[in-house]
Amino acid sequence: MNQEESVPAPRAKAKVMVVDDHALVRRGLSALIGSEPDLEVCGEAADAVEALARIDAQQPDLVIVDLSLQNGHGLDLIRQLRARDAGHPRERVARVLVLSMHDEALFAERSLRAGAHGYINKQEATDKVVHAIRQVLAGKVYLSGAMTERMLQRATDGDTVEAQLPSERLSDRELTVFQMIGEGLGTREIAERLHLSIKTIETYREHIKAKLGLKNSAELGRHAAQWVLENT
């Protein structure tokens, strides 16, 4: 056999899409991923609409998603991806890794329920980010050791005092609206970012106040701002 024929073909690099609303973060992640011999960045996006279009065009193996996006929320994008995958079961399905500044204890489980395959905080060391990428690409779920232990403990103990925390009383959408209120966004701006009507956001505000026992909008604003300060 010819010596050249015996040389195995190089393995194709895994294609990664980066979805984050900060250009510097996208650039940094792209540089980090591109320096790995088995990974390559096939595209970037700042919001869900752009991300969906580029995912269709590039067919990545993995999509890294931030929860805070321009004109939307990362959880909504993840749900859209999973819904589309369910409608086309024979097509290759991109796996999803959430990379966010938000507290893992608040959003990791919600991200997995939405359809993500892992969650890592942006403050983690770069080698952990690469490890998380490879683990999710390998078909596994990535969480920190502390979060894995927490979820196992909850599964073992059932309902605990955590269920009484404000963040645990709210649905995913309510928590998203609550967070945006805490970031200082008004009802109209929240509606525009989430592509919902003003009336719908007002309904969410009323639900949040009722669930958290808040009397008026002023209390809601103060409570939300304090929550954002403590958790982001």
- In the chain, domain spans: 3-150, 163-231
- Give the per-residue pLDDT at 131: 95
For domain 3-150, is the CATH number 3.60.15.10? no
DSSP label at residue 11: P
Please say whether the beta carbons of 105 and 147 come within 8 A.
Answer: yes
How many CB atoms are located within 10 Å of the residue 6 CB? 7
Please say whether the beta carbons of 98 and 111 come within 8 A.
Answer: yes
Decide: helix, strand or coil at residue 23: helix
For 177-193, give the DSSP string.
HHHHHHTT--HHHHHHH
3-state secondary structure 26-60: HHHHHHHHHCCCCEEEEEEECEHHHHHHHHHHHCC
Strand order in the sheet with 62-65: 39-45, 14-19, 62-65, 95-100, 119-121
- Which among 17, 24, 80 has a CA at the least distance from the CA of 45? 17
User: 80: Cβ–Cβ under 8 A, 6 or more apart, which residues?
Assistant: 48, 52
Number of H helices, E strands in the chain: 11, 7
- Give the per-residue pLDDT at 1: 46
Fold identical between 3-150 and 163-231? no
**Would you tell me the crossing angle of helices 217-231 and 198-212 to the nearest 10 degrees?**
80
- Give the per-residue pLDDT at 144: 87
| Tens-level pLDDT at each residue, the chain (232 residues) | 455 555 555 568 999 999 999 999 999 999 999 999 999 999 999 998 999 999 999 999 999 999 888 777 899 899 999 888 776 655 567 999 999 987 777 788 889 999 999 999 888 888 899 999 999 999 999 998 888 887 777 667 665 545 556 667 888 889 889 988 998 999 999 998 888 899 999 999 999 999 988 999 999 999 999 888 876 6
Q: How far apart are CA 218 and CA 203, in angstroms?
A: 16
* Pick among 1.10.10.10, 3.90.550.10, 3.90.228.20, 2.60.120.260: CATH of 163-231: 1.10.10.10
